[in-house]
A and B are shown apart, each in its own frame.
Chain A
């Protein structure tokens, strides 16, 4: 019996020694995420304990990317076309000391019946807008990465998020490095315009659908808004401007139609022109904006407006 014990102890010590890390340092984790689209452009979604997600796996095995992606699609019983890389993002956390990688790939669905996946009834195809809304509900970064890579597929995107947990343990995220193309610099000028358009969309959707948080997020805190109000032409803060929309039903269209007329980019600053029409009141306004690129994206630093209809 003594010999058996000795054998175990010697073996145990030798295994412990061999399992020490070699010259390979510990690494932060990588998640391989797949946006799979069917012929209607619907996205394959999976319901998890955290909420709705696109399908994904941690890269923890000695497998190359092809093998990881193949095993992932096989797991759900489907065949997909060649996946293309759309983005490489970094996640940092308020609750752990690491910076993980998210590789986002996009692939077209070829065949395979989701119903055939035994015991898996939480998979479904959802239209793009609905899918992105659900992803944002799970964690905003997930929806934002998916939306960015789907809306602008001609570049490979980078960007970073800080993830936190609220008091109910729900995941939240804040963009800490705005989306930027990781390569193909000719695309950069176009992409800056697209990023500015996204900021303007927050202004347009926030003001047309009475969404105060979204509207305020388009501006820097100290932005200056030169507007003509009851008291004449004066300077407003973003908070004062957002308050104009406080009486409207949140999320309900208030009759303001908005469209971007022009964007001009000069490195990290830009100008933009947006038309606001309110058919019910036969009013047309033109908004002029100054924007500046910050670490967390483009923000409106100033705005003025004038009425352009003939009334």
Chain B
């Protein structure tokens, strides 16, 4: 019995340590502008969630390959891809940190196909697009990179839920990390 307890204790401690490990992810958010300078905004199927396209860096793809492959799921080709932000996203209640890379890019494509997980896709003026997007931290990031078009922007946002609504607050003021 003593041995069994010892084994359980060791497993218990191991799992406890594992449970405390941070989750650190990287997400590439795509701001795709068409010829009329309208931004592509998409609605997740069966959810009231409007976002811009994007992908986690969790496959065996380079950043460029990842962006091109997501664009291809919408049947569009993107060019002039610019990295404009590398923000941090934290969840206060979780041991979680995510680097949110914001890429601005152009497309000449007009017609958009809908990938399986997307219910709707629309091209909107930037202000209208930001208003349509339902996740506050994405709104923060888009507004910031568009205010500073020749910059590379940093800063951290904490997201949380309040009264069943997703909210965000800036916990590290946005700043530049580009040398002019």
Which A residues are within 8 Å of any B CB, using their own CB? 1, 4-5, 8-9, 11-12, 15-16, 18-19, 21-22, 24-28, 30, 59-66, 82-85, 88, 90, 92, 97-99, 101, 103, 105, 153, 156, 158, 160, 176-177, 182-185
Contact = CB atoms under 8 A, between A and B. Distances in A.
Given A15-B15, A16-B15, A101-B57, 7 more contacts: A12-B8, A15-B12, A22-B94, A26-B58, A60-B22, A65-B88, A65-B99
A21 B83 CA distance: 29
Contacts of A183: 82-84, 152
Nearest to B83: A182
Contacts of B172: 64, 66
A177 B64 contact: yes
A24 B83 contact: no
Interface string B100-130: 0100000000000000000000000000000
B26 A18 contact: no
Contacts of B156: 64
B12 A59 contact: no
Residue of B25, B96, B101, B179 contacting most chain A CB atoms (<10 Å): B179
Contacts of B23: 21, 24, 27
Query: Interface on chain B toward A: helix, strand, loop, or mixed SS?
Result: mixed
A1 B1 CA distance: 8
Contacts of B59: 28, 99
Contacts of A5: 1, 4-5, 8
Interface in B21-79: 22-26, 56-64
Closest 8 CB pairs of A and B: A27-B25, A183-B82, A90-B62, A19-B19, A182-B83, A160-B62, A64-B88, A84-B179
B177 interface: yes
A85 B82 CA distance: 14
Contacts of A18: 19
Contacts of A88: 63, 83, 86, 101
Contacts, number: 136
A22 to B, nearest CB: 7
B134 interface: no
A255 B24 CA distance: 54
Interface of B: 1, 4-5, 8-9, 11-12, 15-16, 18-19, 22-26, 56-64, 80-84, 86, 88, 90, 94-99, 101, 150, 152, 154, 156, 172, 177-179
B177 A85 contact: yes
Given A1-B1, A65-B154, A101 B26 contact: yes
Residue of A66, A83, A153 contacting most chain B CB atoms (<10 Å): A66
13 contacts: A1-B1, A8-B5, A9-B8, A15-B12, A15-B15, A22-B94, A26-B58, A28-B57, A62-B90, A85-B86, A92-B60, A153-B179, A182-B82
B83 A158 contact: yes
A160 B154 contact: no
